[in-house]
Amino acid sequence: MHNDMTVKIVSKNFDIKDSHKLEVALKHGRYSSLKKQFSMSPQEVTEEVYESGLRGKGGGGANTGSKWRLMPREHEKPAYLVVNADESEPGTFKDRQILEYDPHLLIEGMINSSYAIGANHAYIYIRGEYVFWAKRMQEAIDEAYEAGYLGEKVAGYDYTLDITLHRGAGAYICGEKTALLESLEGKRGHPRLKPKQQETEWFFGGPTVVNNVETIASVPFIIKEGFTAYRKYGTHCSPGTMLFGLSGHIQNPGVYELPFGCSMKEVIEKVGGGILNGKKLKALIPGGSSCAILRADEIDNITLDYESVAKNGSSLGTGGMIFLDEDTSIPDAMKNLFEFYHHESCGQCTPCREGTGWVDKIMGKILSGDGTMADYDKILDACKMLNGKTICVFAPSVAYIAESYISKFKDEFYALLKD
């Protein structure tokens, strides 16, 4: 186990000129995992990924191999792989780097993964706003078809795979895997009720795996080098690397691939170049806006892995870190996020549809100087109403973050109240 901050698994080709073109991609190792993959059985590929401990990079962090293991080996309707490229969690802008600089890595990973789960058709659901990236991805898919890496007899082997790119149209909730599948089935993006026991997802009645772009892009390395090579990086429970996004008040914003387990403070200083304009850090949101906020004095011992961030009261989420400097008003930031959540609530469950709006309104009242202690308490009440009473995790996470803002920065909220 080591934390070499220069290791590159997913972003290895990002700096190469024209890395998105097949000709260049082939020179730099793309599709080289296929030979080994086709020498293995689908079960063996699944087990290799399971043993690697690869965790989903879309925010949940579930073990990827465990998800694949749930796929039934015999099924009436065809199986599908769906890649979630509906990246829209505020603070998250990592998958677009893969789509832009190494789309063939994603296609290669999709071949590995589809083969493992027994799918012959895979979809990429990309957010509607990513027009440039959809075009780039489609060009790569076209190139791959032409060169025989997609379609019948993938790379000459006895296996068929089609990939279809499907564009969303501006709904945050479609990043939730079941809402995504509803949307892919042509409906409003409403999350589905989850079964009690763990099982696969379903697309038109066919067993389906939904994985994030970065997760799938990590698979070729694991197949080619073996799971022990992947486990060399990161920590025991969070193996490998992740694309971390730095944004907000940071000197060098951007996306950086780092092994799990790096010290958060070190990353801020060495990778991020410190807080913007030499100011002091007030707070940070560690993994996209749906994670609890952390005060600057809470981050000293945090390392960037799921366990450490969770132990310190937040979650690693998508790895999209948003930094807030000493001059930032936390109530302002919270209001900003509640406008987001109110707008993006899909409207299916009443507590979420109404509750997010209430908190947004109360925050507006407090910020305008008309708020009272009763309003502050009302936010806490609304949080209780939001938590545990809805179909998906949108509302519970909104409640969880609201509580973190108002409890950790009480003084700032109190200062705005009338009495």
Partner 1 sequence: MSEFKFSQENEDKFNELLKRYPEKASLSLPSLWMIQYQIGWISPESMVFLAKRLDTSPIDIQSIASFYTMFNLKPIGTYHIQVCKTLSCNLRGSKIITQHVQNRLGIKVGETTKDMKFTLSEVECLGSCGTAPMISFNHDYEENLTIEKVDKLIDEAQNA
Q: CA 113, CA 68: separation in Å to the nearest integer?
A: 9
Of 53 and 207, which CB lies nearer to partner 1 in the complex structure?
207
Number of residues that bind partner 1 (CB under 8 A): 58
Site for partner 1 contains 170 (CB under 8 A)? yes
Q: How many angstroms separate the CA atoms of 341 and 294, rounded?
A: 19
Measure the CA–CA gap between 303 and 307, rounded to whole angstroms: 9
Stretch that binds partner 1, among 107-115, 138-146, 304-312, 340-348 (CB under 8 A): 340-348
Distance CA 317, CA 254 (A): 17
Site membership for partner 1, residue 151 (CB under 8 A): no
What are the residues whose beta carbons fall under 8 Å from the beta carbon of 362, sequence distance 6 or more?
371, 375, 378, 379, 382
Of 54, 242, 322, 382, the one binding partner 1 (CB under 8 A) is 322
> What single-letter DSSP state applies at residue 318?
T
- Interaction between residue 251 and partner 1 (CB under 8 A): no
Q: Which of 30, 67, 96, 282 is in the footprint of partner 1 by CB under 8 A?
A: 96
| Smallest distance, partner 1 to C-beta of residue 263, A | 21
Sequence-distant (6+) residues with CB within 8 A of 277 are 251, 325
CB closer to partner 1 out of 57 and 127? 127
Q: By CB under 8 A, is residue 364 in contact with partner 1? A: no
Q: Is the CB of 90 or the CB of 239 nearer to partner 1?
A: 90
Which residue in 75, 188, 311, 410 binds partner 1 (CB under 8 A)?
188
- Which of 255, 262, 359, 383 binds partner 1 (CB under 8 A)? It is 255
225 contacts partner 1 (rule: CB under 8 A): no
Supply the minimum distance, in Å, between the C-beta of residue 239 and partner 1. Answer: 26
Three-class DSSP category at 222: helix
Q: Which of 336, 399, 331, 338 is CA-nearest to residue 366?
A: 331
Task: Decide: is 11 part of the binding site for partner 1 (CB under 8 A).
Answer: no
Q: Which of 20, 55, 249, 378 binds partner 1 (CB under 8 A)?
A: 249
CA–CA separation, 159 vs 337, rounded Å?
46
Q: Is residue 324 near partner 1 by the rule CB under 8 A?
A: yes
CB under 8 A: which stretch of 7-15, 31-39, 318-326, 384-392 binds partner 1? Answer: 318-326
**Residue closer to partner 1 (CB basis): 213 or 216:** 213
Closest CA to 362 of 375, 350, 380: 375
Question: Considering only 56-64, 112-120, 159-167, 303-311, which stretch makes contact with partner 1 by CB under 8 A?
Answer: 159-167
185 binds partner 1 (CB under 8 A): yes
H helix intervals, 297-388: 306-311, 330-344, 350-367, 373-386
Regarding 203 and contact with partner 1 (CB under 8 A), the answer is: yes
Residue 145 interacting with partner 1 (CB under 8 A): no
Under the criterion CB under 8 A, does residue 343 sit at the interface with partner 1?
yes
Judged by CB under 8 A, the stretch of 49-57, 242-250, 294-302, 399-407 that binds partner 1 is 242-250
Q: Return the number of the residue (127 or 378) whose C-beta is nearest partner 1.
A: 127
87 binds partner 1 (CB under 8 A): yes
| 320 lines the binding site for partner 1 (CB under 8 A) | yes
Task: Count other Cβ atoms within 10 Å, centred on residue 24.
Answer: 15
CA gyration radius, the chain: 22
State the Cα–Cα distance between residues 149 and 33, nearest whole angstrom: 12
Between 230 and 394, name the residue whose CB sits nearer to partner 1. 394
Residue 207 touches partner 1, criterion: CB under 8 A:
no
Residues 273-302 that bind partner 1 (CB under 8 A): 285, 289
Q: How far apart are alpha carbons 167 and 136 in whole angstroms? A: 13
Q: How many CA atoms lie within 13 A of 291 on its CB side?
A: 30
Is residue 16 within 8 Å of residue 28, measured between CB atoms? yes
Strand positions, DSSP E, 233-355: 241-248, 254-259, 281-285, 294-295, 320-325
Contact 119, 80 (CB under 8 A): yes
Task: Kindly list the residues in this chain that would bind partner 1 in the complex (CB under 8 A).
Answer: 77-78, 87-93, 96, 121, 127-132, 162, 164, 166-172, 183-189, 203-204, 206, 245-249, 253-255, 285, 289, 320, 322, 324, 328, 333, 336-337, 339-340, 343-344, 346
